[in-house]
Amino acid sequence: MHPIDFIIIFVYIAAMLMVGLWFHRKNQSSEDYYVGGRKMTRWHLGLSVVATDVGGGFSIGLGGLGFAMGLSGSWILFTGLIGAWLTAAVLIPRVYKIAFTNKFQTFPEMLSHHYGKRVAFWAGIISAIGYLGFTSSQILAGAKLTSGTIDGLSVNNAALIMGIIAVVYTALGGIKAVIYTDTIQWTILLSGLIFVGVPFAIYNVGGLDVLRESVDKEMLSLTNIKGSVIVNWAFSIIPIWFIGMTLYQRIYAASSRKEAQKAWFVAGLFEYPVMAFLGVFLGLMAKVSIDHGVVPAEAAIGIDSETAMPMMLKYILPTGALGIILAAYFSAILSTADSCLMASSGNFVRDIFKVKSSENTLKVSQIMTFVLGALALVLALFMPSVLDLMLLSYSFMVSGLLAPVIGFIFFKKPKPMAGLLSMAAGAAVFAIFHFLKIELPYGFDPVVPGVIASIITLFIVQKLGK
C-alpha cells in the first residue's frame, strides 16, 4: 500500500478519536453518555441506525454472500427493511412516551416497566452477551479488511489495531460521539462505494458485459437461494429490530416520537435496496476479478469469500482511492462496533450491576466499556467467520428476548412469569439445538425452534395464569 493511502486512513482514524475526546469533555451524566440528552433528530438517527445495523460486519459479509451466491445475497437486508418499518409502525408508538416519561436508558428498563426487575435482569444478561459477540464480529470484519489489503499483516494483529481504535473512542465519547460519527461514516461509506469502488471494479474487469459472460446466470438472478435460508434470515434479523439495545437507545435519544419513526423509515430504505445491492455486487465483482487474473493467482490461493472483496480492492484501486475506500469500510465497521459496545456496557452497568448514582455512573460506564471491549477483542481472535458470528449473536438474543416484547405490545397486563419463562424457553431451546448440532428439516437454523418455543410459552403462561 502506498504511503498516501496510509496517510488518508491515519487522518480518518485520528479524526474519529478527536470526536470521541470532544464529546468526552461534553458529557456530564449517564443521560448524555447513553441517550445523548434526548435531543437527536431524524437524519442523524436514521443514518446512525442503518450504519449500526449494516456496519462493517454486513459490509464484509455481503461481499462474501455476493462472492458465493451472487445478487440473491441481497435478500438478507430485505429483512432489515421489513424490520425497520415494522418497528416504526408498531413498536415506537408503544415505547417512546413511556421511555421519555421514565427516563429509560436501556432496553431491559422497558421490560422492567412491564414485567418487573427479574425479567429485566435476565434480559440484561442475554442482551449484554449477544452484543459482546456482535462487537467481536465487527472487530473481526475490520481485521479481515485490513489483513486483506496490507501485505504482511496477520488477521490477529489487524484485530488488535481495529479493536483498540473502536474501544478507545467509544469509551471516551458515549452515544453522541457514536451517532454523530455514524452520520459522517455512513456518508463516507456510500460515497466510497458508489463513486470509487463500483466504477473501478467494473473498469478493471472489462465492463458489465464481461461480468455477464463470466458468471453463471443464477448468480445474476434473485432466485439463487433456498426458501429456508430466507426464513432463517427473517427469524434472526427482523426480530432484532424489536429487541436490539442499540436501537432502543436511539429511540430514547430522539427529540420526539415522530422524529424517531421518520428515522426508522429512512434507515429501512438505505438498507434495501441501497446497501444490499452495493455490497453483493462488489462481492460478485471480486469473484470475476479473481477468475480474470485481476487478482494474481498466487494471492487468491486459499482465499475465503469474505476476504475476496478487500483483496480485489487492493489490486484495482489507484493510489489515494484505496485509502478512501478503506476509510469507508473502516467507518462502517466502527459504526457498528461502537454502538454494540455501548449497548453491552449499558446492560452491565444499569441492568445487571444496577449502578444508578449520577455521581458514579459515567466513570463506571467508561471503565466497563474498556473492559468489555477487551473481551470482545479476545473473542474476535478465535472466530473464523464474520457473518456466522453476527448471526449467532442475533439468534441468541432473538430467541430469548422477542417473546417478552410481543407480550407488552399485545397484552395490557403482561404477566411477569410469562415473560420470564418465555425467555428461558427460547434461550434454552436455541442453545440445545445449536451446541448439540441437532439438524433440522429443510436446513432451518436453531433460531426457528427457539423463537417458536418462546412465543408458545409466552401465550400459554399468559392465558393459563400462574
Cell numbers for 22: 470532544
**Residues in CB range of 449: below 8 A, 6 or more apart:** 429, 430, 433, 440
Handedness of CA 76, 78, 80, 86 (dihedral sign): negative
pLDDT at 173 over 70: no
Say whether the peptide bond before residue 273 is cis (omega within 30 degrees of 0). yes
What pLDDT, in 10s, does the model give residues 220-259? 999 999 999 999 999 999 999 999 888 898 899 888 999 9
Q: How far apart are the first and last CA of the chain?
A: 65
Q: Sorting pLDDT into bands at 50, 70 and 90, what band is 150?
A: confident
The secondary structure of 434-458 as a DSSP string is HHTT---GGG--THHHHHHHHHHHH
Q: Which residue has the higher pLDDT, 255 or 38?
A: 255
pLDDT of residue 35: 57
Number of domains in the chain: 1
Residue 47 CB-density burial (10 A; 0-12 exposed, 13-18 middle, 19+ buried): buried
Distance, in Å, from the CA atom of 67 to the CA atom of 146, rounded to the nearest integer, reads 19
Q: Residue 217 above 70 pLDDT?
A: yes
Mind listing the pLDDT tens digit for each residue in 442-465? Answer: 899 999 999 999 999 999 999 986
| pLDDT at 219 (0 to 100) | 95
Residues 427-442 have pLDDT tens digits of 999 999 999 999 999 8
pLDDT, position 31 = 57
Judge contact between 361 and 29, C-beta under 8 A. yes
pLDDT of residue 146: 81
Residue 1, pLDDT above cutoff 70: yes
Q: Cβ–Cβ contacts within 10 Å for residue 236, how many? A: 26
C-alpha cell at 309: 472483496
Given this model, what pLDDT does residue 176 score? 63
Locate cell 455501548: which residue? 342
Q: pLDDT confidence of 218, banded at 50, 70, 90? A: very high
Rg (CA), the chain: 21
Percentage of residues in the chain having pLDDT higher than 90: 47
pLDDT given at position 263: 94
pLDDT computed for residue 265 by the predictor: 95
Task: List pLDDT tens digits, range 41-79.
Answer: 788 788 888 877 776 666 788 999 999 999 999 999 999
pLDDT at 323: 85
From CA 387, how far away is CA 306, in angstroms rounded?
A: 9
CA–CA dist 415, 309 (Å, integer) = 49
pLDDT at 450: 97
| 105-114 average pLDDT score | 92
* Region 301-330 average pLDDT: 84
Quickly state the pLDDT bin for 314 (edges 50, 70, 90): confident
pLDDT in tens, 396-412: 999 999 999 999 999 99
Q: Residues 349-386: pLDDT tens digits?
A: 888 988 765 556 667 877 888 899 899 988 888 887 88
Q: Is the pLDDT of residue 20 over 70?
A: no
**In this structure, are residues 281 and 62 in contact, taking their beta carbons and an 8 Å threshold?**
no
Find out whether 262 and 42 touch, Cβ atoms under 8 Å: yes
Domain containing 204 equals: 3-464
The enclosing domain of 77 has a CATH number of 1.20.1730.10
pLDDT band at 26 (very low <50, low <70, confident <90, very high): low
User: Within a 13 Å sphere around the CA of 457, how many CA atoms are in the beta-carbon half?
Assistant: 26
- Give the integer Cα–Cα distance in Å for 254 and 457: 34
| Cβ atoms within 10 Å of 4's Cβ, excluding its own | 14
Do the Cβ atoms of 236 and 34 come closer than 8 Å?
Answer: no
pLDDT band at 153 (very low <50, low <70, confident <90, very high): confident
φ, ψ at 23 (rounded to 5°): -75, -25
What's the mean pLDDT in 177-198? 77
- Chain mean pLDDT for the chain: 86
For residue 341, which amino acid is it?
L
